[in-house]
Amino acid sequence: MGSTSAHDGAGVGRRDLIKRSAALGLVGVPAMGFLSACASGSGSNGNKVKKGTKSKKNPLAVNESAPLSVVIFDGGFGTKYAKDATDQFHKNFPKAKVDFHTTQKIQSELQPKFNGGTPPDLIDNSGAEQMDMGVLSSKKQLTDLTPLLDAPSYDDPSKKVRDTLRPGIVEMGQFDGAPVWVLYYAYTTYGVWYSKTNLGKLDLEYPKTWDEMLAACAKAKKKGIAGWTYAGKYPYYIPFSLYPFIGKIGGREVLDAIDNLEPNAWKHPAVKAAFDAYYELYKKGYILKGTPGLDHIGSQTEWAKGKALFIPNGSWVENESANVIPKDFQLSVGAPSSLDSGDKMPFGTIWASGGEPYIVPAKGKNPEGAMETLRIMLSEEYSKNTSKLVKTLTAFNGGTTGYQLTPGMESAVAALKLAGDNVLNPRLQDWYNKLEKEQIGVACLGEMMAGRMTPAEAIKKIQAYADATAKDQSITHYKHQ
């Protein structure tokens, strides 16, 4: 999702989604919930390195000669942005040996290390094999990042790190109250992505209402162009535009009820209205032929070639598809179209949240070094470096001045400005990854959009999956505070 995830990542994808979850991360249908075999305690601190001396330059008391082990997900964002920050860590602590490892197989490579009590110090937990962070936190496998958040920021010692972050970042890292288990480093804008150039060729503007959306798709169809495509093999991309559509129609409380696994939450009229609208895209032949068989890269490539106007995605798509998006594409993100005048939230309402989830394992040897690396990443310099390298906003609330933003980033900044306080942040993909990806995404939304299941059937099945998740006592349950 691109992270994740969580998405993805998981979160929080994205990103080889498959990377995100995420997230802004995500990819492939992940085998989640793997950590049930993990030891449930955080163990003794006997394997921890001795803390260093706390100072103005070293507020987290990093041991200056202790090794640091970092594992970064190699997806749509690549890994250079993280390598640059760890290089700075090494400059600051030249006696510390830094082991920088990249992979797309986070779960299969790291599960044995978690189970054996030898995880790395810092992990970018993203991609198709993103580890389930709800399980990780409930099994006490993660380090509370509060010391990082309360540390002086890298640029301005008079400000705490937490005071330099975008809205929602701290809250997203919380699963059960006060501790902060995850630092979502990217800031992902989700929605309906399109080319201003390709709309302009059809004398269209982005549709602000669903009637306009259907009319735009009809006009495109006459020219042999599809209205929509999506990652058919990974249909948990569909919610990137569908969930904020539901929230716009029925209000954020509908999404909160869904996240909270409340009985009959999926039977809300706003859900039915949104599902019916998306199903109409299928029934009227506005979905690119072959879409159910495409993965995220395939669907993005067809869309970039102008075969379809719209695609539900996250802002990582600009970097992930950079090699296929034409120079004159004018990449933009659109908020969900208004269904009708009865919508509870205004046009511009959008889903934006943290992606690319970073975690510090409880049994890692050097948590101070891991958190110091994140402190460096959250500086203006390294935030700006990330934005330039991978075309995304970061958790740092700034870093967008002094250079030319890419079209997608510029559009995301404009979309966030238009949204104002009307920013939604559904948590289902963070809290219940299997429910979100395999059950809702693959088993229901993918089937519905392929015409193999009606909206009513999809809603009934999704509600049954959600109810089963709510009743499953082996799963840790979360609620909006």
- Give domain status of residue 20, yes or no: no
- Give domain status of residue 430, yes or no: no
Whether 318 and 330 map to the same domain: the answer is: yes
Q: How far is CA 329 from CA 5, 77, 195, 197, 407, in A?
A: 27, 20, 5, 5, 9
Q: Write down the pLDDT at residue 46.
A: 57
- Give domain status of residue 459, yes or no: no
Q: At which residue do the structure tokens 């950590």 appear?
A: 35
Whether 359 and 307 map to the same domain: the answer is: no
Q: Write down the pLDDT at residue 430.
A: 83
Whether 105 and 218 map to the same domain: the answer is: no
Whether 359 and 344 map to the same domain: the answer is: no
**Domain termination residue (choose one: 420, 437, 456):** 420
Q: How far is CA 231 from CA 2, 101, 215, 285, 296, in A?
A: 12, 29, 23, 17, 4
For the stretch 213-262, pLDDT in tens is 999 999 999 999 999 999 999 999 999 999 999 999 999 999 999 999 99
Q: How far is CA 29 from CA 264, 379, 437, in A?
A: 26, 34, 7
Whether 184 and 55 map to the same domain: the answer is: yes
**pLDDT-flagged residues of the chain (< 50):** 1-44
Q: Write down the pLDDT at residue 45.
A: 52
What are the tokens at 434? 């299997």
- Give domain status of residue 273, yes or no: yes
Alpha-carbon distance of 443 to 448, in angstroms, equals 9
What is the three-state SS of 302-354? HHHCCCEEEEEEECCHHHHCCCCCCCCCCEEEECCCECCCCCCCCCCCEEEEE
Q: Which helix (H) or strand (E) holds 194?
A: strand 183-195
Q: Write down the pLDDT at residue 23.
A: 32
Whether 199 and 347 map to the same domain: the answer is: yes
Alpha-carbon distance of 75 to 356, in angstroms, equals 10
Q: At which residue do the structure tokens 């937990």 appear?
A: 125
Tally of structural domains, the chain: 2
Using alpha carbons, select from 468, 472, 471, 443 the residue that is nearest to residue 458.
443
Q: Is 94 exposed, middle or buried (0-12, 13-18, 19+ CB in 10 A)?
A: exposed
Whether 51 and 162 map to the same domain: the answer is: yes
**Domain termination residue (choose one: 351, 386, 405):** 351
For the stretch 268-320, pLDDT in tens is 999 999 999 999 999 999 999 999 999 999 999 999 999 999 999 999 899 89
* Residues near 178 by beta carbon (within 8 Å), at least 6 away in sequence: 146
Q: Which helix (H) or strand (E) holds 299?
A: helix 296-304
Amino acid at 202: L
Alpha-carbon distance of 12 to 1, in angstroms, equals 8
Whether 131 and 261 map to the same domain: the answer is: no
What are the tokens at 16? 């080889």
Which structural domain, as residue segments, surrounds residue 162?
34-188+353-420
181 φ/ψ sector (left φ>0, alpha ψ -120 to 50, else beta): alpha
**Domain termination residue (choose one: 377, 399, 420):** 420
Q: How far is CA 365 from CA 11, 63, 113, in A?
A: 24, 11, 12
Alpha-carbon distance of 259 to 400, in angstroms, equals 32
CB contact at 8 A, 332 and 194: yes
Using alpha carbons, select from 260, 29, 290, 134 the residue that is nearest to residue 299.
290
What are the tokens at 189? 């804008």
CB contact at 8 A, 51 and 61: yes
CB contact at 8 A, 428 and 454: no
Strand pairing partners for 319? none
**Direct distance between the N- and C-terminal alpha carbons of the chain, in angstroms, rounded to an integer:** 26
- Give domain status of residue 2, yes or no: no
DSSP 445: I
Alpha-carbon distance of 103 to 451, in angstroms, equals 36
Total residue length of the chain? 481
* Residues near 376 by beta carbon (within 8 Å), at least 6 away in sequence: 85, 88, 89, 92, 154, 382
- Give domain status of residue 471, yes or no: no
DSSP 75: S
Whichever domain contains 234, its CATH number is 3.40.190.10
- Give domain status of residue 344, yes or no: yes
Whether 334 and 362 map to the same domain: the answer is: no
Q: Write down the pLDDT at residue 139.
A: 85
What are the tokens at 442? 């693959």
Q: At which residue do the structure tokens 């695609």 appear?
A: 311
Using alpha carbons, select from 285, 314, 254 the residue that is nearest to residue 76.
314
Alpha-carbon distance of 119 to 116, in angstroms, equals 8
Rounded to two decimals, the pTM is: 0.81
- Give domain status of residue 226, yes or no: yes
Whether 175 and 219 map to the same domain: the answer is: no
Using alpha carbons, select from 319, 287, 126 the residue that is nearest to residue 217.
287
Whether 269 and 333 map to the same domain: the answer is: yes
Whether 202 and 152 map to the same domain: the answer is: no
Alpha-carbon distance of 304 to 298, in angstroms, equals 10
